[in-house]
Structure 1
């Protein structure tokens, strides 16, 4: 009964017009009694890459959070968020992956175990082709490992949370815009604490700040971008070279990190720029909940194609194109192609 009530509550989060932080706090109230965890760490993510971009935890001390960021990018390949996502499931327990040998995980040895916890259950919140967030649920060592039914419930819950978080990223119906913004530049030291700021960096860091205060001194997204740059500087495979993050007003930013040549050991520059339409459009289309086919139709409209062009290019009947258009308009909350183009090109700006 409690599990069913939790599922109904999670469904409701997607339709409640909440912020990401509100979704996480609402989910915590619903899931804690069912999953039986003692601490949780919630994260938003770059939906395109799954890279973590923020942290929220009322249970954990985030002093030394730079170690958690480092381990996430460098150390472990056991039940990491990317590994879970690639596996085809949405939730996985560290005890199951390690066959009960939790010490095989660097994350357990360095963070989870010393904090007094035993098993960890992780979940990724995917929806409509994007990973909108993730979470790590930890339980006291004397409570034993997570059971199969708890992993299965977490998998189900993650599906609903993906939809709820996706809905948080839908751009506003109209906005005044922020005008032209230059790049914000932050120089980070080896522990990912800021050494220097330039451009509009200080103001942007405030808008992108984590819901929970950490020891980093910069938002998690900047630290992750820096660690990615350090990997690249070592010649290691780093396919996800940029990090996308959205501010509270619905505007997306792209973060690029680069190791400083001739700088101190481990110093990295992270440059944040407003996302171009090419960067932002796929995120907006996914946030609206469009299917893959509907996204193809919408992108062709943005390029100036009419119904006949779309029909020819996608090998569809004209009436099928019209059906897709009706669905796209309904999901995006617009009544015309002009409004749709304005919404996904300007991220909610007026046409």
Structure 2
């Protein structure tokens, strides 16, 4: 187990579920990871790297550089995208050491950065997030030994992300604001926002305690991803935002509109099953619950015994931390 300042990372996991803020978590993670891979800055993000990560922790990044780095990643001005090496045998790469990394080297030089180690956090169940580590210019660059050491941290970091997401109650403590809409222009900057969207931004920033530039970079990324085709959906956990939220982007002429709202059942269910470890069969049972089916009806529809259905229900309630079907359905209703 990696240790953070003399205490197990397990203690940090417990703290993460009880209001630890963005800066505190980032600093503690940095101390923990430094024991295995010394670095000057760290970013740990949760979510599928083929899309935008839905929550993250940063430490040691100068704000202008952090925003510029994210913008470069989102707009394709980057030598290695996370999704490109997610399937590699060792899903990690060192950026900034190859002379072909022209844009990255230029960006790094302007901010005193020497190299960056990037790694996708992947296990047999899928991809859970990404890790980025920086070293300052003039210091030793990351090498193969550090890549191997970082790869050995994967199980612990995946455990941190999963426990962070699942440590808080699934149901929000207060009613959700009404959906809000942002309009993002061709320059990837927010042009306008409804009053509800402003309320959402205020609510989210207050809960997560992240600096404003991370939000700007996030919406710029949604804008860039939408202009590349598709309609990206990002679902964020209650641990970061007080409730499970969804940001859905659509192209509208030269602009991109982003709807921010409490995640609907359809939006939430895939993330819920992944983070809480629900099986395919348990997901089917949850789907039947959403249709207000009783245990006997679920058993008949899925060709199971009532006893087996009740076993699945108990497992679902235990994994998600709810006290029964009503509380689960409340959580799924946003």
In structure 2, the CA distance between the partners of 1:192 and 1:94, relative to structure 1 (3 Å rule), is: same
Query: Which residue of the partner structure matches residue 264 of structure 1?
Result: none
In structure 2, the CA distance between the partners of 1:270 and 1:59, relative to structure 1 (3 Å rule), is: same
Query: Which residue of the partner structure matches residue 63 of structure 2?
Result: 62
| Secondary structure of the structure 2 residue equivalent to 1:63 | helix
Quote how far apart the aligned CAs of 1:278 are: 0.7
d(CA) in 1 for partners of 2:39 and 2:145? 14
Query: Which residue of the partner structure matches residue 150 of structure 1?
Result: 146
- Pairing partner for 2:243 from 246, 250, 254: 250
> Does 1:82 find its partner at 2:70?
no
Contact 1:10 1:30 (C-alpha < 8 Å) held by counterparts: yes
Long gaps (5+) in structure 1: 233-237, 262-266
Query: Which residue of the partner structure matches residue 10 of structure 1?
Result: 9
- Scaled by the length of structure 2, the TM-score of the pair is 0.77
Contact 1:169 1:250 (C-alpha < 8 Å) held by counterparts: no
Query: Which residue of the partner structure matches residue 298 of structure 1?
Result: 286
- Pairing partner for 2:45 from 38, 43, 46: 43
- Pairing partner for 1:270 from 252, 255, 258: 258
d(CA) in 2 for partners of 1:116 and 1:270? 34
Quote how far apart the aligned CAs of 1:268 are: 3.7
d(CA) in 2 for partners of 1:144 and 1:315? 61
Query: Which residue of the partner structure matches residue 211 of structure 2?
Result: 213
Query: Which residue of the partner structure matches residue 26 of structure 2?
Result: 24
Long gaps (5+) in structure 2: none
Deviations 1:38-83 (A, max 9, x none): 22234344x5954134565442222265532332123257543222
Quote how far apart the aligned CAs of 1:28 are: 1.2
Query: Which residue of the partner structure matches residue 224 of structure 1?
Result: 221
Quote how far apart the aligned CAs of 1:276 are: 1.6
| Secondary structure of the structure 1 residue equivalent to 2:153 | helix
> Does 1:203 find its partner at 2:199?
yes
- Pairing partner for 1:134 from 130, 135, 138: 130
Deviations 1:229-275 (A, max 9, x none): 2323xxxxx4x6233334621231223142544xxxxx543332332
Residue correspondences, number: 325
Contact 2:49 2:129 (C-alpha < 8 Å) held by counterparts: no
d(CA) in 2 for partners of 1:49 and 1:60? 23
In structure 2, the CA distance between the partners of 1:336 and 1:315, relative to structure 1 (3 Å rule), is: same
Query: Which residue of the partner structure matches residue 105 of structure 1?
Result: 101
Contact 1:222 1:255 (C-alpha < 8 Å) held by counterparts: no
| Secondary structure of the structure 2 residue equivalent to 1:290 | coil
Deviations 1:169-224 (A, max 9, x none): 3462554542561x4222334443333222312222223337453557x4433221
- Scaled by the length of structure 1, the TM-score of the pair is 0.74
> Does 1:121 find its partner at 2:114?
no
Superposed CA RMSD in Å reads 3.7
Quote how far apart the aligned CAs of 1:36 are: 1.1
Quote how far apart the aligned CAs of 1:335 are: 4.4
| Secondary structure of the structure 2 residue equivalent to 1:280 | helix
